[in-house]
Amino acid sequence: MSKYITSIPLGDIDRIRIYINSGKLSLRQIVAQEAPDLAITGNFWLYGSYQPACPIKADGKVLATDAYHYPALIWDTGPDISMGIVPPGGACGKANYIANSAGLYQGKPETMYCKPDVRGRRGRTGWGMWGGALACIAFPDGDGMEPEELRDYVQGLGWSDFIMGDGGRKVNYYNRATGDMVQGRDPSQNLILVYKRKGHSSKPDDSDKEDKPMDDITQAIMTNSDCYKAGRTITPKGIMVHSTATPGADAQTIRSAWDRSGAEAAVHYIIDDQRTLQTLPDTCRAWHCGGAANNTHLSFEICEPQECRLIPAEWIALKRGSSGWAVQRLQMELQARGYDPKGVDGSFGPGCDAALRACQKDLGLTADGSCGPATLAKLASRQGSYLAYNPQDTATYFGAVWGRAVALCVQLCKTYGLTAADILCHSEGYAKGIASNHADVMHWWPYHSKTMDIFRAAVDKALGAQEPDYRAQVQARFGLAEETMDYLEAYRYGADLLQKLAAAN
């Protein structure tokens, strides 16, 4: 079950506001226009009138009231956020509040009265207080819980207060820090927008971060796997890096799929952004590459985020009858280009078919109603296309799995006397003739400006490899005095140039 949970210390918040979406804009449009650090769907509203149905006060103006006392998120400016009670009629000293069906108030569970039309296991949002921080949670459409289940879930996390936001088709969530964006099929009538204090709102950028070892490994051996039961062993002589080519599946999901009789794949470890699972003993001969490296190499899979579905090497043609996340992205792109798919619901029906054919015709493509590689390439070429893989959207995820992969390789190298030079990926294994013809991980990593050479260098660095003393090499080669060397370095002849001089004939 996918979910998004975040919390922001109150001291880090500059301001919080309620955005009334009178223009019925998409979340992406609102984010582009208002530039918040966090955005989440607010309280219930009425389909017919497109008006809020629960107490809400924005910019000091009461927009909706009720005949009951409502627990609410209330504030004047931002960091003074608290949970309080809005009385009938909305008389409240604070300048802003937003209320809905409450689940927790001051640590105590609340009876969650909800009309039948908002019950069921559906996508949901919620907000409240969690250890001195403003907390938000979102379950996308297709996932979710009953209201009481969600209340009990966040209470188990330690939330002291919780108000359930709107949900169903209206789950909209954005987090600048992680790059996560979930757009509901319907626009939200109102959203909570949070702005962090200066210095707390930068976008993720892994280019200048050190690779921090995360050596927490959970043992979850696949004892039901035929590979494990075969009992064949190896003496590890290298490490092979894979990625799953199953976008959106986490480590537990992959392990569950492979821990059974008849499964044709098995690796030693599986990594996602939250965990590293050991799924086979290190000395077990794994089934990971379809070649001789099965006899010599330790192996691990890196789980891919949902967005990898948009990478051309992983694209599967969409046509009438297709469904799911990729279809929803296609519908969003068609809509953005001015073609009406008759809904953005992830179901490729006659409306989507007609819209795609019209778009294909206008783009000079064969209007066959199938979004294959050629159509994908055309649609993904638009600036901001919903069908283009955007590395910024998954920067945090990629940084997490990269760090876990580096840490795992460091541990395995130390355990088995290996070096970074003993690490390769599946596509490199194919080039060496010891693995089957797969593209991973080089079909994905270059989008994040990473290569296997950069990965091996990160492992080398984490292993404590010493940079060669190029100064000493240059000095010895050319017979230079210490003063001359000092002069060269003083004028910014750094390691790169000294390395070239050291290698010169």
Tokens standing for residue 493 = 């002849």
The answer to whether position 116 is within a domain reads yes
Could you write out the DSSP letters of every residue in 181-212? EE--SS--SEEEEEEEPTTS-PPP-GGG----
Q: Which residues contact residue 16 at a Cβ distance below 8 angstroms, ignoring those fewer than 6 apart?
A: 75, 78, 81, 96, 134, 192, 193, 194, 195
- Looking at 141, 161, 196, the residue that finishes a domain is 196
Q: Are 286 and 299 in contact (CB under 8 A)?
A: yes
> Does one domain contain both 475 and 453?
no
The pLDDT of residue 492 is 42
Last residue of a domain, one of 339, 369, 388: 388
Q: Summarize pLDDT for 52-99 with one digit per residue, the tens.
A: 878 888 888 888 877 677 778 888 877 778 877 877 776 777 778 888
More confident residue, 439 or 471: 439
Instruction: Output the pLDDT for position 201.
Output: 44
Structurally, the chain folds into a number of domains equal to: 4
Query: 490 pLDDT exceeds 70?
Result: no
- Which amino acid is residue 19, in one-letter code? Y
Rounded to 5 degrees, what angle do the CA atoms 193, 198, 204 make? 75
Same domain, 415 and 267: yes
Same domain, 107 and 41: yes
CB-CB contact of 211 with 185 (8 Å): no
The 218-219 sheet, strands edge to edge? 218-219, 276-278, 269-271, 297-302, 238-243, 423-425
Same domain, 34 and 120: yes
Cα–Cα distance between 349 and 322 in angstroms, integer? 8
The CATH number that applies at residue 347 is 1.10.101.10
Residue at 377 is within a domain = yes
Which of 121, 122, 55 lies closest to 94 in space, CA to CA? 55
Task: Give alpha helix (H) positions in 215-263.
Answer: 226-230, 251-258
Q: Of 359, 388, 417, which residue sits at a domain end?
A: 388
Which residue has tokens 């699972």?
277
User: Can you tell me the mean pLDDT for 121-125?
Assistant: 78
Mean pLDDT, the chain, rounded, equals 84
Q: Note the pLDDT of residue 498.
A: 56
CA distance 73 to 175: 19
Is the residue at 203 inside a domain?
no
Among 34-48, 61-75, 440-454, name the most confident range: 440-454
User: Domain range holding 491?
Assistant: 470-503
Whether residue 371 sits in one domain with residue 341: yes
**Selection from 170-184, 424-438, 471-485 with the highest mean pLDDT:** 424-438
**Proportion of the chain above pLDDT 70, given as a percent:** 84
Under 8 Å between Cβ of 152 and 182? no
pLDDT at 469: 61
Q: Report whether pLDDT(3) > 80.
A: no
3 state SS for 267-294: CCEEECCCCEEECCCCCECCECCCCHHH
- In this predicted structure, which of 66-75, 311-320, 481-490 has the lowest mean pLDDT? 481-490
| From 124-133, 251-260, 491-500, the region with the lowest mean pLDDT | 491-500
Domain-located, residue 213: no
Cα separation, 16 vs 31, in Å, equals: 14
Q: Are 45 and 189 in contact (CB under 8 A)?
A: yes
Residue 207 counted as domain residue = no
- DSSP bridge pairs for 102: 163
pLDDT band at residue 1, thresholds of 50, 70 and 90? very low
Q: Which two tokens stand for residue 269?
A: 């470890």
Judgement on whether residues 405 and 497 belong to the same structural domain of the protein: no
Q: What's CA 78's distance to the chain center, in Å?
A: 27
- Co-location of 379 and 407 in the same domain: no
Instruction: Give per-residue pLDDT as tens, 362-373.
Output: 999 999 999 999
246 and 129 fall within a common domain:
no
Domain for residue 211, yes or no?
no
Note whether 78 and 162 are same-domain residues: yes
**Do 191 and 300 belong to one domain?**
no
Q: How many Å apart are CA 433 and CA 453, to the nearest integer?
A: 19
Residue 455 in tokens: 């990965």
Question: Is there a domain that residue 358 lies in?
Answer: yes
Claim to verify: residue 115 and residue 60 sit in the same structural domain: yes
pLDDT grade, residue 212 (50/70/90)?
A: very low
Residue 441: inside a domain, yes or no?
Answer: yes
Same domain for 34 and 118, yes or no, is yes
pLDDT in tens, 402-420: 999 999 999 899 889 999 9
Q: Half-sphere exposure (CA, 13 Å, Cβ side) for 87? A: 4
Q: What is the pLDDT of residue 504?
A: 59
